[in-house]
Structure 1
Amino acid sequence: MNSRAKRLVLPLGGALAAATMIGASLPATAQASTADPDVKSSALTPSGNAKAIAGYWTASKLKSATTYLADSTVSAKLTKTGAARAAADGKPGVVAPTGEEDKSAGQSKNVNLPITVGKVFFVDDKGQERWCSGSSVQSKYRNLVATAGHCVYDTDTNKPFGNFVFIPGYYQGKAPWGIYVGAKVNTHDDFTVYEDYDYDYAFVNVYNGIKQQPEKEVDYKTFKAHVDKGGVGRESATTVDFETYDKWTQKGGLGKVENVSSEDEVGPQYNGALAVAAETDKWTWEKVTGEVYGLKNDKVTLKGNELPQANWPKAGSKIETRVENVTKTEYDAYKGLGYRKIDAQGNYTITYYFVVKYIKKTASVKYVIFRHYISTVADAGRLGDNVGGQGFSWNQALGKKVFTFGYPTSAHLDGNKPYSGHTQKWCYGTTAAAPVVSAYKAEEHQAIKCAFTPGASGGPFLLQYKNSKRTGYLNGVVSLTLDSDGNKRYDRVTTPYFNGDTYGIYKHAANLWTGKLPA
C-alpha cells in the first residue's frame, strides 16, 4: 500500500477501507489511480508435470491433508486505539463476475454456496500435505484463483509451496469440477520480500482442469510404464494357495514366494524346480554381478526371452525391481526390505528388490500374487468456463455487508470443534476495523464478526453476493482468525484491505495465459 514504507515485518496483515459503495450503475471495470505495484510472479509447475501433480492428489491424500498455519491465530482485544487504520489510495472500482452460475455445490440454510469456492492443496517444506480455502475469480483466460499469500508462498524458504492445486466445490474428498494445477503465483513484493502480511493475498494462474478417471487393472508392464512417466498407480498383494499362484503366473502375472527355508530350496536343474522371487534389500541386490533376469510362468527370462532350464542362472541372481506408489502414511509406516524414495513429482514410492531362488513344488511356503492398477486423467477445460469466477473490487468503503466462505476445521481455543473441514461454510457480517495485531504487523486489516476457526484462510470476502446467481465481488481473503474478547472462542476473521496496489496485482494476473496441457 502506497501509504506505508516498505519494511521487514512478520506474519499476517491487511487493511481497512474508505470509498464510495459499489452500485449497480458502476461500470464493469475501472482504472486504479496508483502506479503499478511491485508484482512478484513465481512459477509453480511446468505444464508437462501438471497431470502428475493432479494424479498425486488422490482422494485419500485430500482427506488426510491438514489445514495450514493453524497456529497463526491470535487473541487480540478490539479497542479504539488498537483498531487497524487504512484508507483508499484512489477511486473505488469493480470488475464484474465471469458469469451467472446456476450450478450448485449444495446448500446451507437459505444460502446457496458458490461452486467458485473450494480448497487449495499443497505440500509444505516438510513434505506434509496441507490445505487452505480459495476462490475462482474473473480473468481474461478463465484461469485465476484468489487465496491468502501464506497459502501459496513460504516466506521461511522464500519459495512457493509444492504440488499446488485448486479444487472448486470440494466436498469430502471429491473434486466434482476437476483439479486445477497451479502454474504461476502472483503476489505483492512486500509479502514475499518483507514478509508483510498487510499484503497477505495471492492470485494464482492455473492450468485447465484435470479429472481423474476410474481406476483400472493392468499388467505390470503397463503399470511400470505409466508410473515411470509420473502417472499414479498402486500394487495390491494377496496371499493365495499354490494352484492360484500357479495359474496367475502361468498367465504372466507377477508373484513371489515367502518363507523359503533351506529345506525347500533346490538347484536350478532340479527336476520340476520352480523359479521364484525372493525379496532382498537394495544394497544386497546391487552387489550381485551379472545380468538382470525376469520371471514368467515360473520360468526365468532374459531380455524378455524365456530360458531353457539348462541355462537357468544360479540361485541369488538379480531379478528386475518393482516400484510401488504409496501414501505418505504407508511410506512412513513401512518397515520392510524395500527402498523408500520421494520422486521428482513428490510421489512416495517403495522399490522392491528380488533375487531368484528355486524351490520344490511341494514346498510349504507362502505364495503371494500382485495385481496392478493405474489412474489416468482427462482435460476438464478452463476453470472459469466450468464454475465461473467472482468479480473483483478495490478501494471500497468500510461498513459493507459481506459474505465470507471457506472450510474452517480447527477447534476453538477452548477445545470446542464445530467444523470438520470437509464441507464449505459461510459467515455474513459488516466490515469494520480489525484489531491491530503487533505480533504479525497486522495494521491495516478489516474484519467481520464470524466464528470461523483456522482452515478458512484464503476464503473470499464477497460484496453484493447474489444468492440466486452465487456471485459477488471479491473484496478480501481470510487472513487471520481472532479471539477479540478473550473468551477462548474465535469471533472475527480478517482480510488485508484491497486497494489500488491489490488491483494492480490482480490485473497483472488476470491477463496471464497458462498455455495448453500437453496431450
Structure 2
Amino acid sequence: MRDPRAGSALEWISAAREPTTTASGLLGSTVIATPAQAEDDITVAPLAATATTAQEVARFWLADGAANLKNATPYAVQTEVQGERVSTPVAPDTKPGSVAPAPGPAEPKGKTPTTSGKVFFADADGQPHWCSGTALQSQYRNLVATAGHCVYDIQRSGTTLDKWVFVPGYADGTTPWGLYVGKQSFAHFDFSTYKDYDRDFAFVNVYNGVVSPSPDVLTDTGRLVDNVGGQGFAWNQPAVSLADVFGYPAGPNPDGRRPYTGQTLEWSTGPTSTMTLSGLPTDLFVGVESPFTGEGSLGSSWLYHYSGASRTGYLNGVTISVADTDGDDRYDTGVSPYFDGAVNIIYQAAARAWTGSIA
C-alpha cells in the first residue's frame, strides 16, 4: 500500500523518543486513557511560513478598522455529538506529568485568564470564522492550543485553514494585546490524515504580536506569553474532579435559544468523566459538565487547578464538540480527547519551535 504521507504538501516528522520533562502528577479523577503507541507521528504544517506572508495575513485582519475580525462568524463544523458519561477505567499510557504555567504581567479586572482568546481563519468559502484558543507556556513563549479542526480543514483533506491568527483577550472587535499570526501547526498524524477525533487537538507557534496604528503599518507588540502569560500543560492525569472551561460560545441550543453572544469570554466549571460517543469514530473521550453551546466554543481550554489570583492552571483538554446527554434540548457537556503521553510528545515538539517578529 502506498504510504499516505508520500508526496504530501505537509512536512512529516516522526517523534520516537520520550520528552524530557518533569513528571509531577496533579491531583485528580476517574478520567483514564487507553495505552498509546511508543512512537507517535507528528505532523508539522506551515500556516504563514515567511514574514512577508505573515504581514499579508495580519493586514487582512487589521485593515479597515479590523473589519474582518468583527465580521467573522463562529465556526460551525463538527459542533455536536451524541454521547453518554461512563466510568470506564483504562490505564494511562505513561506516567502523569505537567509543565508549570507562566503568569502574565497583564492585570485587567476580573479573574478570567488573559491567555484566552479567539483564533480566526478563513475557511474554504473564503469567509472569516473563529474558534476559541489559549496561550501555553513554551520555550519561546509563542504557543497556542486549540481544537485540531480549528486548524485543519476536515472538509478538504490534507489542508489547513487559511489566514490563521490568534487574538488574546478578544472582546467586541478589539485586540488588547495585539494580533498573533500563526507560523506553523503541530498535530497528530492520525488526525491530519485520517480524521481520528481521538487526536483532535493542535498546537500553533505564532509570531510576535502586531498592531496597526495606521494603514499598511505594523508595530511589534512582543511575544505572546510575555504579554498575557501562558497556561501550564498536564498529561495522563488519572484523578481530576473539576475543570474550568474558558471560551467564546455563540451558537444556539437544540431548542433554539442563544444564551451566549460570542463577543466576550465565558467561564464554566464542572466535574469531568469519561464518555462514549456515537456520532464520531472514537475510542474514549473526556466530558465536562458545561452549558457552552458548540459554535464558537470549539477549542475552549479546559484548565485544572485554575487559580483566579494568578489566572493560570494546567491545560488538560480542549473542546472539540458538545453534547446534550439528558435530552432536554440544551447542551450540558463539552467533550475533549484525553490528553495522554502522545499529546505530550507533540506539545514538547511544538514548545521548542522558534518564530520571531514580522514587523
TM-score (norm 2): 0.85
TM-score (norm 1): 0.60
Q: How does 1:66-145 map to 2 (within 5 A)?
A: 66-76=73-83, 78=84, 80=86, 86-104=90-108, 106-107=109-110, 112-145=111-144
1-side partners of 2:337 and 2:324: how far apart? Answer: 18
- Tell me what 1:440 maps to: 280
1-side partners of 2:336 and 2:252: how far apart? Answer: 21
Pairing 1:176–2:176 present: yes
Cα shift at 1:458: 0.5
1-side partners of 2:182 and 2:88: how far apart? Answer: 33
Cα shift at 1:440: 1.2
Match of 1:408 among 238, 243, 249: 249
Q: Give unpaired runs (5+ residues) of structure 1.
A: 1-18, 24-32, 216-373
Q: Give unpaired runs (5+ residues) of structure 2.
A: 1-22, 28-35
1-side partners of 2:206 and 2:67: how far apart? Answer: 23
Cα shift at 1:485: 1.1
Determine what percentage of the aligned residue pairs are the same residue: 44
Distance change >3 Å, CA 84–CA 426, structure 1 → 2: farther
- Tell me what 1:146 maps to: 145
Q: Is the 8 A contact 2:81 2:278 kept in 1?
A: no
- Tell me what 2:58 maps to: 54
Which amino acid in structure 2 is aligned with residue 196 of structure 1? Answer: D
Match of 2:335 among 481, 491, 494: 494
Pairing 1:481–2:293 present: no
Cα shift at 1:472: 0.5
1-side partners of 2:169 and 2:137: how far apart? Answer: 16
Q: Is the 8 A contact 2:24 2:98 kept in 1?
A: no
2-side partners of 1:447 and 1:456: how far apart? Answer: 14
Which amino acid in structure 2 is aligned with residue 43 of structure 1? Answer: P
Deviation string, structure 1 residues 7-62 (Cα, Å, up to 9, x no partner): xxxxxxxxxxxx99516xxxxxxxxx974420000000022121221111132211
1-side partners of 2:277 and 2:290: how far apart? Answer: 17
Instruction: From the CA coordinates, give the structure whose radius of gyration is larger.
Output: 1
Pairing 1:160–2:160 present: yes
- Tell me what 1:202 maps to: 202
2-side partners of 1:145 and 1:34: how far apart? Answer: 25
Q: Is the 8 A contact 1:164 1:182 kept in 2?
A: yes
2-side partners of 1:444 and 1:189: how far apart? Answer: 18
Q: How does 1:284-299 map to 2 (within 5 A)?
A: none
SS in 2 for 1:507: helix
Cα shift at 1:515: 3.5
1-side partners of 2:85 and 2:325: how far apart? Answer: 9
SS in 2 for 1:57: helix
Pairing 1:431–2:272 present: yes
Q: Is the 8 A contact 2:166 2:179 kept in 1?
A: yes
2-side partners of 1:128 and 1:397: how far apart? Answer: 41
Deviation string, structure 1 residues 450-490 (Cα, Å, up to 9, x no partner): 10002111011101111100000110111111111111100
Deviation string, structure 1 residues 126-169 (Cα, Å, up to 9, x no partner): 11211000000010001100000000011332111110000001
Cα shift at 1:398: 4.2
Cα shift at 1:431: 1.2
1-side partners of 2:153 and 2:180: how far apart? Answer: 20
